Amino acid sequence: MIRFEKVGLRYGERPEVLRGVNFDLSAGSFHFLTGPSGAGKSSLLKLIYLALHPTEGRIILFGRDVAKVPRRELPWLRRRIGVVFQNFRLLGHFSAIENVALPLLIKGAKRQEVETHVIELLRWVGLGERVAAYPATMSDGEKQRVAIARAVVGRPSVLLADEPTGNIDPDQAIRIVHLFEELNKLGTTVVIATHDQNLIARYNHHPVLHLERAAVRRHDPLSPVTALAAAAAGGVRSHD
């Protein structure tokens, strides 16, 4: 589904953010992406959602080498990837329902056709009473759920979330990760970038991609690092 082969990234003349990154995420998997602040988690996600080009290496998405995909076809690849951005990135002059409907409208769907579906989705994320609300009147948790609804409304194959629990309280964070797990059960590949070790520990049945010093290491469930994080969070869960 997503394969990185010796991927490197640097911004201009600055030091490399990523160096020789290799990993392979299979379809329907659920991963946490973690690492210290500034380690390059957001940059790695940007490479996956095609907001950046790698400075070296190869990225294979849905079986296609991204570098060889003609530019005019990139929007179709992007439509298969749902993104929950770090600061939500909602359109301020659009209501919740309009923000969520946007990915469908840009595909050419008619407003009347999508309205019912979008309202259902907003109910699913717990915003059934807030469909007409504007971002300026919403709490961070509500904005986050609108952002999630917008990311999944087009039934993407891959869902990426950049620090989705960074601005919300722990209870809401748990609700949101549950939403991601539900989507994952439906077959969506999920990658959540977070530096919240408590969250990773709570959901330690998912593998972790650990990003540090420009390189990625993979830790499978309950590997020593995961277990350590779980222990630190005081909530180790066992699962077989």
Partner 1 sequence: MIKRRSPVPFERERSERFLPFVIGAMTFLGALAVVLLFTLDAAMTRWRADLRDTLTVQIPATKEAGGERAEAVLAIVRATPGVANAQLVTYEEVERLLEPWLGKGSAAKGLPIPILIDITRAPGATIDRAATERQIQKAAPGATIEDHGTWLNRLVRLALSIQLVAAAIVMLIGAAAIAVVVFATRAGLAVHHDAIEILHLIGAQDAYIAREFQTRALSLGLRGGLYGLALAAVAIAVFTAALPDLSVAPAFRFSPDGRALVALVLLPVATALIALLTARHTVMRALGRMP
Binding site for partner 1 (CB under 8 A): 49-53, 71-72, 74-76, 78-79, 83, 89, 91-95, 97-98, 101-103, 105-107, 111, 114-115, 118-119, 131-132, 150, 154
Taking the least distance from each CB to partner 1, the nearer of 48 and 208 is: 48
Tell me which DSSP letter residue 52 carries. S
Taking the least distance from each CB to partner 1, the nearer of 114 and 148 is: 114
Taking the least distance from each CB to partner 1, the nearer of 68 and 72 is: 72
Place of tokens 């840009």: 106
Taking the least distance from each CB to partner 1, the nearer of 10 and 89 is: 89
Closest approach of Cβ 134 to partner 1, in Å? 12
Closest approach of Cβ 148 to partner 1, in Å? 13
Closest approach of Cβ 167 to partner 1, in Å? 18
* Residue 32 near residue 204, CB atoms below 8 Å: no
Beta bridge partners of 7: 21
Which contiguous run of DSSP H or E holds residue 212? strand 208-212
3-state secondary structure 96-108: HHHHHHHHHHCCC
Rounded to whole angstroms, how far apart are CA atoms 161 and 165? 9
Closest approach of Cβ 98 to partner 1, in Å? 5
Taking the least distance from each CB to partner 1, the nearer of 101 and 229 is: 101
Name 171's Cβ contacts closer than 8 Å, sequence gap at least 6: none
* Torsion angle in degrees (nearest 10) through CA of 97, 33, 41, 51: -50
Closest approach of Cβ 159 to partner 1, in Å? 13
